A and B are shown apart, each in its own frame.
Chain A
Amino acid sequence: MVWPILAAVLVSAGNALSRKLFDLSSNAFLELQWYLFSAAFLSAAGYVLLVNEHVRIDAVSQRFKPRVRAWLDVVVLAIFVLPLTGVIGALGFHLFEQAWTSGEGSSNAGGLLRWPVYACVPFGMACLGLQALSETIRRLAWLAGRAPHPTLAESALPPFMPGPSRPPR
């Protein structure tokens, strides 16, 4: 989930250097960059929802009671986010299927096959949809008094990279 970013940085810097120094460049490198970034941010969408870091405007809502805020989250997640991930995911999957069977390539010379990046969309939407379902259930369970308060901070999760080094600020 995180390493594609490093790969994209290296590909981008390498491509710029090789173009200048050796006059050697390819659309494949340019496309690889955004394939990698898309893979990273789409697959991270569910995780970012889990650690509650999709930004909110809480200037007004911080005065609401926790129960009201939980209900608002349930409404938006269950009624809007779930269907939307379904729609985009299904349409994306359709495009992926087409590209897979037809072997669709990029329209740029030397470009890459399209299906891997199309595949990121249904995958990312599935992750986000499942996480939205999970967040909905956890909020409903709390509202029904059957579970602890669901807002999870990243620090409450098992460490991302276990080891002695301190987490970033």
Chain B
Amino acid sequence: MTAWVSANLPPLMFAALTLFLLSGVPVAFGLAACGLTFAFIGIELGLLSPALLQALPLRLFGIMGNETLLAIPFFTFMGLLLEKSGLAEDLLETVGQVFGPLRGGLALAVVLVGALLAATTGVVAASVISMGLISLPVMLRYGYHKRLAAGVIAAAGSLAQVVPPSLVLIVMADQLGRSVGDMYTAALVPAGMLIGLQVLLVVVLAVLAPRWLPALPPEARAEREASGASGLRSLALLALVSALASWSFVSYYPSWLQRIGRSSAPPPDEMAMVALGAAVGAAFLLSVVDRLLRLNLLSNLARRVAFVLIPPLILIFLVLGTIFLGVATPTEGGAMGAVGALVLALSRRRIDHRQIAHTLLATVKLSTFVMFILIGSTVFSLTFQGIGGQVWVEHLFNHLPGGPTGFLVFVTVGVFLLGFFLDFFEIAFILLPLLAPVAEKLGIDLIWFGVLIGINLQTSFLTPPFGFALFYLRSVAPAKEYTDSVTGRVIGAIKTGDIYWGVMPFIAIQVIVMSLVLAYPQILLHDKTGAAKMDAQTVNRMLQQLPTGQSDSAQDPMKLLLEQLKDEKPPR
């Protein structure tokens, strides 16, 4: 009996962990309890040294002193502040006005604002709650299909977990021992594909099933000219002029860099940042000049768009810009973004010191449970590795057919299924430490592995019944039928089932992108122009016009990677 237990300790420990976790006790404590139990069994059986537990405080200090993990409270704090700052509201209303007159326009606005918010912060709650409160009632009022409206909001909101700067990618990078910056760069293309496919889905539906996503009726378009014109032409003109300004700036940028003494050509993600900044700066300048000189060349709508895009783009620059330009580490980028969001919310008088304290409390609670899961998982893995668990896990995967590919397919499917029941911190902190060494041994690029699992974990925010995005949407969607205040029509409740069915096509999109990343890993490190999709179409246009000198370095992924490594590490 004792011999059998000794020989089979790792599988027994894993089974015990499953029981502990399923019993519904707090995950952090279940992990620690399992680790402790088996530490004693191991010591009794003579497999482990009694001094094992003395390693615990040092492990704990290792977690406390981990700079990457500091990004968790910073980005959480930033996301919660943004939710209060009213930024999402302004964006949704303005972008809704721009696209509203189109069929499917409101849904399109939700996807684009979701993408924009995703590039600003790394947490899902802020965007889903704001969109559920603002866009959902408008969509229902003008006859959107309930399931479609709910699905598009949850899906666009979950983008925050895959578009850099996302918490999922930070945690992936930490657990896999890779740089967060590399993880961000690699995730740009799949994130762009997700956004692109969501846009495509909305467009296709608008063509095939126009009754599900009607255009806003003329009386619902608030921003109009005195003459009754919509002002869209003026907006298009403004966009064109800013695009031209940005293009000329970007084509001059590399030579200017050389003059101030930087030898390497700027990588594409830096170019995208610069192009974006130049375009917005130009649009903003034009609107300010127009307003100050009372030229009235711009329509109300055009001016409003220019002004409303400024705060989120400044935040994107503060966070992503500083990270990609190598000014700040991702953690510091999160801190800068949090300060930016704090200044924004304070300057709009949306929060007072009490609400700051409440926001901090929510931040502390989330960070605490995350850090304690990590501490619990350390107690677990200390014992698990001590009794040779890692060897058992590797042995387990040796029996899998198909080598690295078989492993990746198995892990992808497994994590996808687990994502229905577990949330991402649990998967990242419990399973990833077991899988990462196996992946490394099989010669799998860990950045690719991380992005693949990252998209998978983002999907877990969408999969019923435990997806977080669904919870947040449920908490703000109308649970009873109500009479709309504008049209006076009775609007039916959104049932939980409506939300579940609504996200199905979007989960399909997730699966498509995951399969593509799995089948064609070269899209991650290679064609960086996909980065353009991460933002408004302005950038898209910019990048198509990028000077061709870029393509030389883009063709050689290794060279590109090395250049980035050189530029990305801020001096310490």
Within 11-42 of B, Cβ neighbours of A (below 8 Å) are at: 20-30, 32-33, 36-37
Measured between beta carbons, the chain B residues less than 8 angstroms from A44 are 364-365, 367-368
Which one of B22, B129, B333 contacts A57 once the chains associate, using CB atoms below 8 Å? B22
Pairwise interchain contact B57-A88, C-beta atoms closer than 8 A: yes
A57/B24 contact (C-beta < 8 A), A16-B336, A168-B359 known: yes
Which one of B36, B67, B367 contacts A40 once the chains associate, using CB atoms below 8 Å? B367
Which of B160-168, B247-255, B350-358, B549-557 sits within the interface?
Answer: B350-358
Which B residue sits closest to A35, measured CB to CB? B64
Pairwise interchain contact B371-A59, C-beta atoms closer than 8 A: no
Chain A 15-59 near chain B by CB (<8 Å), digits 1 or 0: 111011000010000110110011011101101110101111111
Residues of B within 8 A of A (CB): 20-30, 32-33, 36-37, 53-54, 56-57, 60-61, 64-67, 70, 73-74, 77, 80, 83-84, 129, 322, 327-329, 331-336, 338-339, 342, 352, 354-365, 367-369, 371-373, 379, 421-423, 425-426, 466, 475, 570-572
Count chain A CB atoms within 10 A of each CB in B80, B342, B354, B571 and give the residue with the most.
B354
Q: How far is the CB of A159 from chain B (nearest CB, A)?
A: 9
Measured between beta carbons, the chain A residues less than 8 angstroms from B32 are 80-81, 84
Pairwise interchain contact A76-B466, C-beta atoms closer than 8 A: no
Count chain B CB atoms within 10 A of each CB in A80, A117, A160 and give the residue with the most.
A80
Pairwise interchain contact A72-B23, C-beta atoms closer than 8 A: yes
Lowest 4 A-B CB distances belong to which pairs? Answer: A61-B24, A12-B335, A80-B33, A54-B26
**Complex Cα distance A92/B55, Å?**
11
Q: Does A121 contact B (CB under 8 A)?
A: yes
> Considering only CB atoms and an 8 Å cut-off, how many residues of chain A contact the other chain?
69
**Complex Cα distance A20/B333, Å?**
13
**Complex Cα distance A64/B313, Å?**
49
Which one of B60, B358, B373 contacts A168 once the chains associate, using CB atoms below 8 Å? B358
- 17 intermolecular pairs with C-beta atoms under 8 Å apart: A2-B364, A8-B74, A33-B70, A40-B364, A41-B364, A41-B368, A47-B365, A53-B365, A55-B373, A56-B25, A57-B422, A60-B23, A80-B29, A91-B56, A95-B57, A165-B352, A168-B84
Q: Does A143 contact B (CB under 8 A)?
A: no
Measured between beta carbons, the chain B residues less than 8 angstroms from A19 are 570-571
**Complex Cα distance A75/B404, Å?**
42
Q: Does A62 contact B (CB under 8 A)?
A: yes
Chain A 130-169 near chain B by CB (<8 Å), digits 1 or 0: 0000000000000000000000000000001101010111
